[in-house]
Structures are given as C-alpha cells and as structure tokens.
Amino acid sequence: GAVVSQHPSRVICKSGTSVKIECRSLDFQATTMFWYRQFPKQSLMLMATSNEGSKATYEQGVEKDKFLINHASLTLSTLTVTSAHPEDSSFYICSARPTTQGYEAFFGQGTRLTVV
Amino acid sequence: AQSVTQLDSHVSVSEGTPVLLRCNYSSSYSPSLFWYVQHPNKGLQLLLKYTSAATLVKGINGFEAEFKKSETSFHLTKPSAHMSDAAEYFCVVRINTGGFKTIFGAGTRLFVKA
C-alpha cells in the first residue's frame, strides 16, 4: 500500500531556533500534501495545503511566515517551524494525496516537536 | 461558529453486531464531510467522504454514512463489526468561509469484543 514517511518522528529544539519536518510519499507521487497539527488531548487541525511547485494555501488563523511549507517535488514536502517557541510544541502530521486519486488518503506517522 | 461533535468518546460492540458512530456538525455553510480511521500505531486513513452528491456514501471496509442536513448529522455505520475494525474514528467537516477551514471531531474509540 501507499506509504507516507515523516522525519524526524521526534525532535527537541531550543526556543528561537527553527526546525524542519519532512514528509515523503515513498511509493507514489503526490501533487498535494497536507499539514496538520494536534494539540494535547485535542483533535487534529489542518494547517495548510501544499501543492507541488506552487505556494501553500494556509487555513485561516495559521501564520504562514512562521510555518514555512515547501513542496519542491512530487514526493517531498517540508514544514519549517521558524523561531520556535514552547507554544509551538505539538504533534505535526502530514498526509499525501496520490496524483492518480481524487482525495487525500495516506497519512504519515507524525512528528512530536518539543520546544524547550 | 463551526463545530464538529462526536457524541461518543467510546463505543463497544460485539463482533458481528452493527456499528454506529455518531457525528453532528454545526455550520452555516454547506460542508464537505469525511470519516477517517486511525489504527494503533498507524496514520489516518480516509474511510469515506460526502461532497454534495448522493447523501448516502459508501466507503471502504463495509462502512457507510448518511448525510442528513435537517439533523446536521453524518453518522457512520457498518452492518457487522469485525475485530479489525477496532480503532479510533474521526469525523471531519470542511467548509469554505472565504478561506477553507477543516475541523476534526475529538474522535470515537471503537472496541470490538469477540
């Protein structure tokens, strides 16, 4: 089946630094990828939709200058949390929509970010 | 305000009996509705979606859901539960308010007893 891999699975960074999370579709091409965030004991929140070769579309209330998204190829999207603060600590999950299908279907395992 | 409410945090059924996972939404916009499943230690998987076509939507693994606008509901059902159905299920609403917003429900944990 289709596999989406996120890296790293866990990361701890210092406040004020930036951290990059990678989302790769391993055995299919994904024109569109999605980035989600999950706060403790809360449900997932879609942050942005990333389309290969173009700018990401951010959901209302998400700071695009803080959460930089790059989708440079059909198998890789990256999320960079810039100038991280403790309140950015969260679980970040990506999903990838196969180019040959009409709806998002495959999720990564997620990345636990802790900002200290 | 837009919201999604999954009415049960936990549901327990016996194998072979029907499954009903309830979801109600609140939105002044026409929504798209989705159900996702998350098995332990795995990512989310799309079960089915409604986007203004047929109100009864069939998904994978025998699941289906019916969009009832008058009741603002999108309950997920399956005629006969299987042990492999034990997982966390999320109801999701997506609306266009001049910008898209996607709202996940809190999730319902389904337990299936032998």
The DSSP string of A62-89 is: --TTTEEEEEEETTEEEEEE-S--GGG-
Q: Residue B75 and residue B41: Cα distance in Å, rounded?
A: 25
| CA distance to A62, A69, B27, B90, per residue, from B106 (Å) | 20, 26, 17, 7
Q: Side-chain half-sphere of A57: how many Cα atoms within 13 Å?
A: 12
Residues of chain A contacting residue B106, judged by C-beta atoms under 8 Å apart: 42-43
What is the DSSP code (8-state) at residue B21?
E
What is the DSSP code (8-state) at residue B60?
G
For residue B75, the distance in angstroms to the closest alpha carbon of chain A comes to 18
CB within 8 Å: B100 and A106? no
Tokens of B99: 């910008």
Digit-coded pLDDT (tens) for B70-101 = 999 999 999 999 999 999 899 998 887 776 67
Q: Residue B87 and residue B71: Cα distance in Å, rounded?
A: 26
Q: Tell me whether A59 touches chain B (CB under 8 Å).
A: yes
Tokens of A56: 């990401």
| CA distance to A31, A88, B57, B73, B97, per residue, from B65 (Å) | 28, 35, 5, 9, 24
When pLDDT is cut at 50, 70 and 90, the band that residue A1 belongs to is low
Residues of chain A contacting residue B103, judged by C-beta atoms under 8 Å apart: 43, 45
CB within 8 Å: B102 and A46? yes
Q: Tell me whether A104 touches chain B (CB under 8 Å).
A: yes
**What is the overall mean pLDDT for chain A?**
88
Digit-coded pLDDT (tens) for B20-60 = 999 999 888 888 899 998 877 666 778 998 987 789 999 99
- List the single residue in A44, A103, A107 with the smallest CB-CB distance to B104: A44
Residue A5 pLDDT exceeds 80: yes
CB within 8 Å: B45 and A105? yes
Digit-coded pLDDT (tens) for B53-63 = 789 999 999 99
CB within 8 Å: B102 and A59? yes
Phi-psi label, residue A16: left if phi above 0, alpha if psi -120 to 50, beta otherwise: left
When pLDDT is cut at 50, 70 and 90, the band that residue A2 belongs to is low
Q: Residue A114 and residue A17: Cα distance in Å, rounded?
A: 12
